[in-house]
Amino acid sequence: MKTVVVAGGAGFIGSHLCEFLLKKGEKVICIDDLSTGDKKNIEPLMNNGNFVFMQQDITEPFSLRDDVAQVFNLASPASPIDYQKKPIKTLMVGAMGTKNCLDLAKNKNASFLQASTSEIYGDPLEHPQVESYWGNVNPIGVRSCYDEAKRFGEALVMAYRRKFNLDTKIARIFNTYGPRMRYDDGRVVPNLIFQALNKKPLTVYGNGEQTRSFCYVSDMVEGLTALMNSSTNEPVNLGNPNEMTIAEFANKVIELTGIDSKIENKPLPEDDPLKRKPNISKAKELLGWEPKIVLDVGLQKTIDWFASIKK
């Protein structure tokens, strides 16, 4: 049995990762300050003797007594609404938070995985996005607090790797969805499902021609663990290359909920990337990983979950 630390373990992807690791028989220490995560996400894990929850802001120094084999750093506000509400905190989480987690891995001689993001490509001029692309980020725009925090995070990880020979991994996570997304985090998946279930119009920003590619959370968790357990230290894109326009996505929500809501167009937010689709050749080749859950199946599970917690 290994001890694995998951920073951000009470969040959406983090809580699924904790559950997956426990099922594999690992001991899990979940660190979260519950600022955007939710204790409800980990409530079912609390009775498991191999699960420890530590309420801790990772921008503050912390230490652990246990031996640790792996550190996953998923702690950060991650939805555009959340990070734009807390821009300074988001920058500090990417900087000091990542440093504190890297120091933990260094002190414990543990492997370290940084949850990075497709946002480091900004509004991409290359499509689909390959890991070798350096991106097109507005460094002073409203999304820069997140994009630059995550770019700084990658730079810090590489500095620890070069300076201390730490075993580091960088996962560039593309849009991920599934149960336990916060209904009010402002992202397109919870917004549109929640609106449909409440028989409200679906808000499509701009003309809806911008694209995203949505990956179901169980596929993402498998990708993250495959990367952590691999020997690669290069950044790897993790996501589902099934690209669609937001208008198509809205129609899919209408079809699967069976609720004939209208579409209401709203202004496109500043610096909203027009296109996003991962090239996942590297993940396929190096990790033998690719997503398995098609959108209709994953979205139906997500809709059913939102219906079960309906507010």
CA distance 65 to 174: 34
**Angle at 208 (CA atoms; ends 204, 249), nearest 5 degrees:** 75
- Out of 36, 114, 176, 191, the residue judged to bind ligand UDP by CB under 6 A: 191
Q: Mark the segment that binds ligand UDP (CB under 6 A) among 22-30, 102-110, 128-136, 268-276.
A: 268-276
Q: Using alpha carbons, select from 46, 47, 44 the residue that is nearest to residue 55.
A: 46
Least Å distance, CB 243 to ligand UDP, is 12
Half-sphere exposure for 277 (CA within 13 Å, toward CB): 13
Q: Which of residues 157-176 bind ligand UDP (CB under 6 A)?
A: 175
By CB under 6 A, tell whether 120 contacts ligand UDP: no
Q: Using alpha carbons, select from 149, 162, 85 the residue that is nearest to residue 117.
A: 149
Residue 29 or 181: which CB sits closer to ligand UDP?
181
Structure-token pair, residue 182: 């916060």
- Out of 120, 204, 220, 221, the residue judged to bind ligand UDP by CB under 6 A: 204
Least Å distance, CB 249 to ligand UDP, is 8
Q: Quickly list H helices, the chain.
A: 12-23, 39-42, 80-85, 87-92, 98-108, 144-164, 188-197, 217-228, 246-257, 281-287, 295-308
| 133 is known as an active-site residue | no
Residue 158 or 268: which CB sits closer to ligand UDP?
268
Q: Which of residues 41-70 bind ligand UDP (CB under 6 A)?
A: none
Q: Which of residues 7-46 bind ligand UDP (CB under 6 A)?
A: none
Structure-token pair, residue 115: 């949850």
Q: Using alpha carbons, select from 301, 289, 152, 133 the residue that is nearest to residue 224.
A: 289
- Out of 14, 80, 122, 239, the residue judged to bind ligand UDP by CB under 6 A: 80
Query: Residue 136 forms beta bridges with which residues?
Result: 122
By CB under 6 A, tell whether 71 contacts ligand UDP: no
Secondary structure element (H or E) that encloses residue 177, with its range? strand 176-177
Q: Which of the residues 83, 146, 160, 216 is marked catalytic? A: 146
By CB under 6 A, tell whether 212 contacts ligand UDP: yes
Least Å distance, CB 107 to ligand UDP, is 33
By CB under 6 A, tell whether 272 contacts ligand UDP: yes
Active site residues: 146
Binding site for ligand UDP (CB under 6 A): 79-80, 175, 187-188, 191, 203-205, 210, 212, 246, 268-269, 272
